[in-house]
Structure 1
């Protein structure tokens, strides 16, 4: 599996049609078939292309899944620009909610996260996928710094981590439902923590205590 970065240039023409057919076939397979039974051959047959075409571009099912996740993440979780940190975080949280409430995507993520416990390479690739996406959307916190909404030494990536934490906690730890209220709460907590100076780069424990968090 290999993560595809945000903003990756997409092919055009016949190559684009082939790519779309293969990714559509993969999504159908994921919805109907156990992950362990999905093969490049099955995907190629369903897409109506030669298996050599699929192998030449992606090499494995894991790499196909990585590209599908990246494409859907870009579509469902765009970088918002509402003009305020609160508005951007809320819009982003709703995008993350939509992404993870997609039955197929949620199923795939649960399978991959579970498999990654015993597969170091897969774990590293999942980390790369989430790191790439987080760094991309953290631009909204950079803009908030430039507008003077939050301290200049705020860690933009940490703002996104705090905002998304309630969603991932429920998805992978407790199994509780994830709704708009959960998303909004995470966005509000992240915004308030950033404004209070709790998400600066490398704060020491005394600094956090003095801000009233402990």
Structure 2
């Protein structure tokens, strides 16, 4: 699962205001963390009236939820390489690039830390990952259909297993994962899936 930035969708003034505010909110999270996220400061950074920000979002947690929703919408679509291992490697490399990005990695650390003590942020983060897992799960499902993985393999569990060690390494060491770590994560998840670890009924 990743939120590597894509291209903003075109739109009118409302879309431009939302994009500016969400960009400013992401900057604050990446630079200073959740504790320093303030609607008035975000409005100032985005060069938008405070009234507009308070009326549209109303609270910091609502703003973070919208930021995560936007990140999920703009994340790059899944790649289909023709093999389940290749697809899982594409997913792991996308996650790795996101976490290694100075801004995106810091933003994710801030949101994850906030989710540990704020339920609304935790719910928004879960929704974000639900979207990203659902985007990549068909890669595993297609692998099952091609006979590359056992029948009954839990596609979502496999996708989560790919990114889990990358996030764990970032959160426990403070060091972003490198491409080699991404490939190891994909190969480990693939080997476990091939062995039937994620097949239902096991």
Aligned structure 1 segments of 4 or more residues deviating by more than 6 angstroms: none
Give unmatched runs, 5+ long, in structure 1. 1-9, 204-214
- The alignment's TM-score, normalised by the length of structure 1, stands at 0.78
> Taking structure 1 as reference, are residues 119 and 174 closer, same or farther at Cα in structure 2, changes over 3 Å only?
same
Q: Counterpart of 1:14?
A: 13
CA distance in 2, matches of 1:188, 1:74: 27
Report the TM-score, using the length of structure 2 for normalisation: 0.82
1:184 aligns with 2:183: yes
Give 1:46's aligned residue.
Answer: 45
- 1:123 maps to 122
Structure with higher RCO (Cα < 8 A, 6+ apart): 2
Larger of the two Rg values belongs to structure: 1
Cα–Cα, structure 1 residues 73 and 67, in superposed 2: closer, same or farther, change >3 Å? same
**Whole-Å separation in 2 of the counterparts to 1:185 and 1:73:** 25
- Give me the whole-angstrom Cα distance separating, in 2, the residues matched to 1:194 and 1:35: 36
Q: Secondary structure at the match of 1:138?
A: helix
Is 2:65–2:121's contact at 8 Å kept on the other side of the alignment?
no
Deviation of residue 73 (structure 1)? 4.6
Q: Give the structure 1 partner of residue 5 of structure 2.
A: none
Distance in 2, matches of 1:156 and 1:110, equals: 26
Query: Which position in structure 2 is the counterpart of 1:206?
Result: none
Q: Deviations over 1:52-79 (max 9, x none)?
A: 3223332223333333334345545531
1:78-131 deviation digits (Å, cap 9, x = unpaired) = 311112111111111111011112222322332333333333343333233223
Question: Is residue 2:169 matched to residue 1:170?
Answer: yes
How many residues in Structure 1 have an aligned counterpart in Structure 2?
Answer: 194
Specify whether residues 176 and 50 from structure 1 end up closer, same or farther in structure 2 by C-alpha distance, changes over 3 A only.
Answer: closer
